[in-house]
Amino acid sequence: MTGSIEAESSVQIEDKLEHDAFAAALFDPLAPVPAQITQKGASQKRFDIYRNNVVLSLLEALGDAFPSVRAIAGEQNFSRIARDFIALYPPKTAMMQAFGKEFPSFLKNYAPLKKSLFLADLALAERMWLEAYHARDEEPLAPEAFSSIPAKQVAGLIFLTHPATRLAVSRYPVGDLFGARECWPVHGLDLASSQTMLITRPFHSVMTVTVESDAETAFLADIIAGETLGSAIENAVEYDADFQPQNAISLMLRTGMLSGVSRPHNE
């Protein structure tokens, strides 16, 4: 029995090594045909065709996941960037929605784009959009639920955010850049302006809202982090004494970014 288990384990290790060697060669254009494939009659030409088809399908998948980055970079540039990314971060699972999660950080450290760091922020926003699209369904908080809470409890409220809620904070106009997927170039774009994107999916379609106020950005970030409503308002007022909390609360309810509310226990 022991000998049988050892033999089975040895076969599994050998299979894994062959699998790893095949995967490594598949994403390295300079790698020769893996030995185990050659033994089965596959030529370098046939393997190159297969490898090229796999890479092309991944290029298409990455472009579909980051359409605004692709539009701004241009097809040829995006293809070169994507090929370098795929060589470093090939898919690790058959679930393709996980593929490309490292793309924003890859762009941030990608030497040829060191003068175009806005693309990394844009890629992060697009990744958040994709995560929101695949997020768990949940009923958004109805405005009535908030309005029925006694006034003395309002400041101590802590909100639960919808599973699809994301906040992409950037020192670049990420909301305008995101629109490149629909139309590029974006006329009048000022790369020196900062924007934040609120991304939600209260029902079936992903919703994006561009936030240009630092005070409103701080407020939303605090709410998502689990701060009380009173604390979030106080922090926002530090950014802008004219901050209007009722407008920010209306935005949260309108976009469906909340899924619940917790009342303070000491009231």
Helix ranges (H only) for 39-142 are 44-65, 67-73, 75-88, 103-108, 118-134
pLDDT digits (tens, 9 = 90+) for 56-75: 899 999 999 999 999 999 99
**Per-residue pLDDT for 49 more than 90?**
no
**What is the average pLDDT value for the chain, to the nearest integer?**
86
pLDDT value of residue 133 = 96
Q: Of residues 35 and 127, which shows the higher confidence score? A: 127
Which of 4-18, 78-92, 177-191, 240-254 is predicted with the least confidence, judged by mean pLDDT?
4-18
Strand partners, 209: 198
Q: Of residues 30 and 243, which shows the higher confidence score? A: 243
- pLDDT band for 53, please (50, 70, 90 cuts): confident
pLDDT value of residue 13 = 43
Residue 254 burial (CB < 10 Å; 0-12/13-18/19+)? Answer: middle
pLDDT value of residue 212 = 86
pLDDT digits (tens, 9 = 90+) for 194-223: 999 999 999 889 999 999 899 999 999 999
**Per-residue pLDDT for 54 more than 70?**
yes
Contact assessment for residue 211 and residue 239, using Cβ atoms and an 8 Å cutoff: no
pLDDT value of residue 11 = 42
Strand partners, 167: 198
Paired tokens of 260: 């619940």
Q: Own/partner pairs for 24-30, CB < 8 Å, 24+ apart?
A: 25/51, 26/50, 26/51, 26/54, 26/90, 27/51, 27/55, 27/86, 27/87, 27/90, 28/87, 29/87
**Per-residue pLDDT for 15 more than 60?**
no
- Supply φ then ψ for residue 43, to 5 degrees: -90, 165
**Per-residue pLDDT for 14 more than 50?**
no
pLDDT digits (tens, 9 = 90+) for 78-110: 999 999 999 899 888 777 788 999 999 999 999
What mean pLDDT comes out for the span 44-59?
Answer: 76
